[in-house]
């Protein structure tokens, strides 16, 4: 039976910081199980050494895989012996917060002060929306405060409002949908008959805060990706995109005639971003490392309906030189087997009057 756990770890811990465990047993072997909620997701038989010690490693990766499959930024787990002793069963309960990166901070203090993103400021286009996620504990004040800066008929103005709330669950995830269009509509109600131009908006919950600066650029490549905390986040890429098409086919001779077979066409998009700051570069690394990337579609009802894309090649170049700027270069393609065509515009147009389209979709 398990009589002790020699390894200490916090009740709320990052998966990347989960330690290798040393347990004390009075038997030659033990069967240990990892439970997620009310379901056993992993079990293993381990032998004790001559000192009665059992070692269990890489448990953090098992928890990460469970959270990836269930799209969770955190989960409640318990480590138990099996079969349990009716008089004094061994059980260690804890909450694991998903993290594909190692952090110096403790998970409990991090989630109490930060949204589930590594950026405190982002850019967003007027047509896009983003997801701002955070984790709260029971009794916490989860009032969401909004602050917007805008022009109303050329006159600078600000507005503030909030949505009050208090966390009732022991621990919970919340998602805040932010959209420049929604904020403009909110401002327009207070400033009827005025021309509104949104400059920025900030969202805060307790000490958590993030600011978005609204941009008017249209030639953006927009993608959602699973970030380091296993939640979706929007990346709007400013830079140069080059489409590359490769056609391959084999030949065979049939009845003294040569013919093609196994025809394949592959279309890739090579992106060279504009200059990036160091915090943004670290954040973009999460995009390149992401297990799931979706092409942004404003007409989709949810992110799940958006088309999946694959990041096939990537390179980050960041220098502390005063004359060199940080840039990221990557190549992506649609996950679909068949090549994609843009929607067909059936309106008859003169070839001399068509507007140049420099964004690849």
Residue 352 pLDDT: 60
The answer, yes or no, to whether the previous bond of 83 is cis (omega within 30 of 0) is yes
Query: Which of 41-55, 188-202, 262-276 has the weakest average pLDDT?
Result: 262-276
Average pLDDT over residues 235-254: 86
Q: How far apart are CA 80 and CA 299, in angstroms?
A: 47
Output DSSP code: residue 326.
B
Integer Cα distance of 19 and 120 in angstroms: 29
3-state secondary structure of 178: strand
- Using the Cα atoms of residue 230, residue 234, residue 238 and residue 244 in order, give the sign of their dihedral: positive
What are the beta bridge partners of residue 334? 309
**CA angle at residue 281 from 276 to 284, to 5 degrees?**
115
Residue 103 clears pLDDT 60, i.e. is over it = yes
pLDDT tens digit sequence for 137-190: 999 999 999 999 999 999 999 999 999 999 999 999 999 999 999 999 999 999
Higher pLDDT, 217 or 352: 217
Rounded CA-CA distance 94/108 in Å is 12
What is the distance between the alpha carbons of residues 301 and 57, in angstroms, rounded to a whole number?
Answer: 41
Pair of tokens at residue 195: 């021309």
Read off the pTM.
Answer: 0.85
pLDDT at 360 over 60: no
Q: Is the pLDDT of residue 193 over 60?
A: yes
- Write down the pLDDT at residue 319: 67
pLDDT of amino acid 133? 96
pLDDT in tens, 39-86: 999 999 999 898 999 999 999 999 999 999 999 999 999 999 887 666
Exposure on the CB side of residue 96, measured as CA atoms within 13 A: 30
- pLDDT at position 320 is 66
Q: Beta 12-14 vs 39-47: how paired, if at all?
A: unpaired
Tokens 């890489």 sit on residue: 58
State residue 233's pLDDT score: 95
The pLDDT value given to residue 344: 56
Lookup: tokens for 149? 């800066």
pLDDT at 350: 66
Is pLDDT above 80 for 26?
yes
Candidates 207, 268, 265, 219; CA nearest to 242 is 268
pLDDT confidence band for 351 (50 / 70 / 90)? low
Mean pLDDT of 112-122: 94
- Whether 171 and 138 have beta carbons less than 8 Å apart is answered as yes
pLDDT of res. 272: 86
Pairing of strands 208-215, 121-125: parallel
Question: From CA 23, how far away is CA 6, in angstroms rounded?
Answer: 6
295: pLDDT confidence band, cut at 50, 70 and 90?
Answer: very high
Rg (Cα) of the chain, in Å, rounded?
26
Structure tokens at 354: 């068509």
What is the tens place of the pLDDT at every residue in 199-208?
999 999 999 9
pLDDT of 346: 58
């Amino acid at each position: 039976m398990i009589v002790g756990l020699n390894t200490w770890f916090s009740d709320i811990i990052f998966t990347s910081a989960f330690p290798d465990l040393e347990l004390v047993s009075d038997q030659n072997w033990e069967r240990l199980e990892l439970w997620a909620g009310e379901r056993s997701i992993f079990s293993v038989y381990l032998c004790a050494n001559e000192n009665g010690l059992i070692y269990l490693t890489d448990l953090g990766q098992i928890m990460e895989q469970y959270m990836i499959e269930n799209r969770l930024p955190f989960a409640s787990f318990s480590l138990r012996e099996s079969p349990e002793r009716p008089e004094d069963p061994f059980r260690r309960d804890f909450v694991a917060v998903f993290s594909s990166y190692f952090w110096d901070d403790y998970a409990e203090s991090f989630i109490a002060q930060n949204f589930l993103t590594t950026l405190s400021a982002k850019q967003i286009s007027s047509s896009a929306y983003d997801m701002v996620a955070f984790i709260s504990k029971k009794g916490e004040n989860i009032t969401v405060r909004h602050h917007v800066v805008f022009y109303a008929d050329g006159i600078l103005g600000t507005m503030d409002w909030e949505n009050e709330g208090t966390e009732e669950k022991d621990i919970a995830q919340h998602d805040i949908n932010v959209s420049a269009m929604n904020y403009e509509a909110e401002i327009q109600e207070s400033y009827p008959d005025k021309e509104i131009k949104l400059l920025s908006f900030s969202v805060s919950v307790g000490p958590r805060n993030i600011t978005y600066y609204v941009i008017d650029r249209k030639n953006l490549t927009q993608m959602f990706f699973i970030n380091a905390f296993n939640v979706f986040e929007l990346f709007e890429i400013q830079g140069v995109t080059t489409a590359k098409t490769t056609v391959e086919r084999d030949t065979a001779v049939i009845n003294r005639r040569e013919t093609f077979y196994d025809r394949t066409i592959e279309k890739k998009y090579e992106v060279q971003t504009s200059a990036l700051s160091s915090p943004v570069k670290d954040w973009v690394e999460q995009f390149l490392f992401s297990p799931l990337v979706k092409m942004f579609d404003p007409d989709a009802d949810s992110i799940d309906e958006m088309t999946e894309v694959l990041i096939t090649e990537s390179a980050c170049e960041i220098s502390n030189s005063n004359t060199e700027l940080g840039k990221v270069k990557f190549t992506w393609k649609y996950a679909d087997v068949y090549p994609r065509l843009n929607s067909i515009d059936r309106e008859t147009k003169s070839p001399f009057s068509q507007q140049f389209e420099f964004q690849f979709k």
